[in-house]
Amino acid sequence: EKGGYEHFMLKEIEEQPTAVRDTLRGRFTATGEIALDEVRLSDQDLRDTDKVFIVACGTSYHAGLVAKYAIEHWTRLPCEVELASEFRYRDPVLDRSTLVIVISQSGETMDTIMALRHAKEQKARVLAISNTVGSTIPRESDAVLYTRAGLEVAVASTKAFLTQLVACYLVGLHLAQIRGVKYADEVAAILDELAAMPEKIQTVLAAMDPVRELARSLAGVQPVLFIGRHVGYPVALEGALKLKELAYLHAEGFAAGELKHGPISLIEDGTPVVVIVPSPRGRGLLHDKVVSNIQEVKARGAKVIAVAEDGDTAVVPHADEVVYVPVVPTLLAPLLTAVPLQVFACEVAGALGLEIDQPRNLAKSVTVE
């Protein structure tokens, strides 16, 4: 059932173009509107939303962190993202005009279930994104959008993560449509870009040999730092989580702008720093700021591995290695930039002779709080 692959994780990484394509299939109505799978509330309920919370754990939480950028941009609703295990213990401000989006691959994560129940007790509306039809979380929610990643066997989440990102984008666009779209042209363009994504993910996957080689040459070196800005920041967190859980190495993700506020002191001669470089076409000069960050870590001896957009030559003089990914709108870039980090972690763990599909101390579904 591993279909010729040595590990499920490798198979599931390779299945990502298909998983993304499946998650997009048939999601639009004849009039171009995005439809959820199950809806037990009215469009008016969604229209009345004045605040969004996203609640999840682990990798699903990282998908939520990416979603915040898209949802706030497209809907102009304030959106907060919180770890499920923290959410209900701090008395969050919730009422019937709050939309709580819970993200859970398994649909059975106890921390997330308890957060969902707390939100419902406070009369908030709950929308679930899950990969498991009929599991507890979608059953207890007011609306559901299923990811269609198929069964994910490896404990470390890969294809589920990419499909969660897709589902988050769809929910963001759905909310924008329901609320009256301010960015109508942008929504149509984003849908086209999403449709083109499976092929672009395939392009990334086809170019992973240098990443594997790099991973083998760095296997065991720690710490490994991951830095990014904007949507690249959650990708950095996810890259670090993958390396921690699979290779048992100290890995940390940081917002690149925070480096100088502390973490830069970790850098020694040869410390690997993986940098998610924003598109040079993006707003706010973030690209140039990240190139400066690269120079700062480089000057302190870091070995810089940049994940950058095709054609971005500005990083070349400063980075030790550059992994290029196809050009896409900034908000969608995590669907591509996360992939080399998954491959990197998987390959490091393999080089260290570790059990890739079943890392120590971890379970696929965490059904205790």
Tell me whether residue 157 or residue 293 sits nearer to ligand F6R (CB atom): 157
Round to whole Å and give the CA distance between 3 and 232.
Answer: 32
Residues in Cβ contact with 304 at an 8 Å cutoff, skipping those fewer than 6 apart:
273, 275, 294, 297, 298, 318, 319, 320, 321
Q: Which stretch binds ligand F6R (CB under 6 A): 53-61, 121-129, 215-223, 228-236?
A: 53-61
135 binds ligand F6R (CB under 6 A): no
Round to whole Å and give the CA distance between 65 and 77.
Answer: 15
Near ligand F6R by CB under 6 A: residue from 23, 60, 293, 337 = 60
Round to whole Å and give the CA distance between 176 and 181.
Answer: 5
Which of positions 148-167 make contact with ligand F6R (CB under 6 A)? 156-157
Near ligand F6R by CB under 6 A: residue from 23, 49, 85, 106 = 106
Near ligand F6R by CB under 6 A: residue from 49, 59, 136, 279 = 59
Round to whole Å and give the CA distance between 325 and 340.
Answer: 9
Near ligand F6R by CB under 6 A: residue from 23, 98, 105, 163 = 105
The string over 33-57, giving b where at least 16 C-beta atoms fall within 10 Å of a residue's C-beta and e elsewhere, is: ebebeeeebeeebbeebebbbbbbb
- Catalytically active residues are 364
Residues in Cβ contact with 210 at an 8 Å cutoff, skipping those fewer than 6 apart:
321, 323
Q: Which stretch binds ligand F6R (CB under 6 A): 1-9, 101-109, 180-188, 295-303?
A: 101-109
The site for ligand F6R, by CB under 6 A, has a size of 15
DSSP single-letter state for residue 356: S
State the binding string over 315-334 for ligand F6R (x if CB under 6 A, else -): --------------------
Which of positions 188-247 make contact with ligand F6R (CB under 6 A)? 241, 245
Residues in Cβ contact with 91 at an 8 Å cutoff, skipping those fewer than 6 apart:
none
Round to whole Å and give the CA distance between 131 and 152.
Answer: 9
CB of 361 to ligand F6R, least distance (A): 12
Residues lying near ligand F6R in the complex (CB under 6 A): 57-60, 104-106, 109, 112, 156-157, 241, 245, 365-366
